[in-house]
Amino acid sequence: MAADSYLLHQLLHYDATKLHVVVYCFGRDFAYLFDKRTRTVTIYAGENNIGRAMINLAGSGMKGYIIIDMARQLQEPSNDVVPSHEWGIIMLSSPNEDNFKSMGEAAECYQNHHELPR
């Protein structure tokens, strides 16, 4: 089941007047930023560059959603990864609790666990 592809597809087809940006992060160091208004994709490398880009977009009034693929990283994202209360975040992870435990303790979040059939 390709939950990441499905979520990305759904967010990219969501009303562009309500959701302006979708950011797909491969861990902390690599991300695709999809700007739905200009219909462009920008690649960002480095945690600081990714964070700065999202802060600038949120500061200009843009609303966004972040998908973080935890399968490709050993370190969970920092607690301030979401640049604004108007932005949402989805973290995709294997059932390994170490991938998301401390972020769930530090931030207000809802954890939804699904076991996939074998």
Q: What number of residues does the chain have?
A: 118
Looking up tokens 């390994």, which residue turns up? 96
Are 73 and 47 spatial neighbours (Cβ–Cβ below 8 Å)?
Answer: no
- Tell how far CA 91 is from the center of its chain: 7
Does residue 61 register a pLDDT over 60? yes
Domains parsed from the chain with CATH numbers: 3-106 (3.30.420)
User: Amino acid identity, residue 83?
Assistant: P
pLDDT, average across residues 9-20 = 92
pLDDT of residue 44: 94
pLDDT of residue 115: 54
pLDDT in tens, 31-52: 999 999 999 999 999 888 988 9
Q: How far is CA 57 from CA 11, 53, 67, 88, in A?
A: 17, 6, 16, 14
